[in-house]
Structure 1
Amino acid sequence: MGDDSTTTIRATFETREAADIAVEHLVQQHGVSRPDIFIQSAGDRNTAGAVASGGDASHEEGARRDAPLGGEIEVSADVTLSQVGAVRRCLGEAGALRVSSR
C-alpha cells in the first residue's frame, strides 16, 4: 500500500493570468482536484497581481483600475506526496516566482 499523505505546495505569480494557467495545468495535466487548489492574494491586500496582463493589459484606456495591481497572487494546492515533484515543475513552468512546500 502506497503512502497517501498530502502536503501543500505554494507558488506565487506576478499576474492573475499566470496563476490561472497554472491552475488549469494542475487540473488537466496532473489530475489535481479543483477543490484542492486555492488562489488568493500573496499579501494582505486585494490584488489582481503585480503586473497588468490579459484583459488588464489590453484595455483601450490603459490598465484597468477596478482590479488593483497591489501584489503577487498565491496558488496553493493540496497534493499527494507522489505528485510533489511534478506539481512543483508544473508551477515553475507556468511562471511561478517562488515555489515552496509545507
Structure 2
Amino acid sequence: MADDSTTTIRATFDTRAAADLAVEHLVQQHGISRPDIFIQSVGADNTVGSAPSGGDASHDGGERTDGPLEGEIEVSADITESRMAAVQKSFGEAGAIRVTGR
C-alpha cells in the first residue's frame, strides 16, 4: 500500500530561471496545482537568486548591477510521501543545489 501521508519538500536554487523551471516540473510532470507551490527568498532580502541567468544576465558580456542578487530562492510544496523520490529527481533536473523534505 502506498504512503499517502503529506510532507513538505523544499529545494533551493541559485537562479530564478531554475526555480521557475522547477515549478513547471511540479505542475506539468506531477500535477501539483500552482496555488500549492510556494516560492520565496531563502533570506530576508528580495532576490532573483545568487547568480545571474536569463534576463538577469547582460547581453554585452558585462555583469548587470540592477538585479537584486541577494541570495538563493526556495521552492516548496506539500506532496505525498509516495511522490518524494520523483519530485526530488525533478528538482535535481531543474538545477536544485539542495533538496530537503520533512
TM-score by length of 2: 0.89
RMSD: 1.9
The answer to whether the aligner puts 1:77 opposite 2:77 as a matched pair is yes
Cα offset, 1:67, TM superposition: 3.1
Cα offset, 1:82, TM superposition: 1.2
Runs of at least 5 residues in structure 1 that lack an aligned partner in the other structure: none
> Residue in 2 aligned with 1:17?
17
CA distance in 2: counterparts of 1:62 and 1:56, whole angstroms = 11
Cα offset, 1:35, TM superposition: 1.3
Cα offset, 1:43, TM superposition: 1.0
> Residue in 2 aligned with 1:88?
88
The answer to whether the aligner puts 1:28 opposite 2:46 as a matched pair is no
Residue 49 of structure 1 aligns with an amino acid whose one-letter code is G
**Greater CA deviation, 2-11 or 24-33?**
2-11
CA distance in 1: counterparts of 2:30 and 2:78, whole angstroms = 12
Cα offset, 1:58, TM superposition: 3.7
CA distance in 2: counterparts of 1:51 and 1:91, whole angstroms = 18
Percent of aligned pairs with the same residue?
71
Residue 73 of structure 2 aligns with an amino acid whose one-letter code is I
CA distance in 2: counterparts of 1:54 and 1:19, whole angstroms = 12
Cα offset, 1:7, TM superposition: 0.5
What secondary structure sits across from 2:48 in the alignment?
coil
> Residue in 2 aligned with 1:4?
4
Residue 32 of structure 1 aligns with an amino acid whose one-letter code is I
CA distance in 2: counterparts of 1:81 and 1:33, whole angstroms = 17
Q: How many residues align?
A: 102
Cα offset, 1:8, TM superposition: 0.3
Runs of 4 or more consecutive aligned structure 1 residues displaced over 6 Å after TM superposition = none
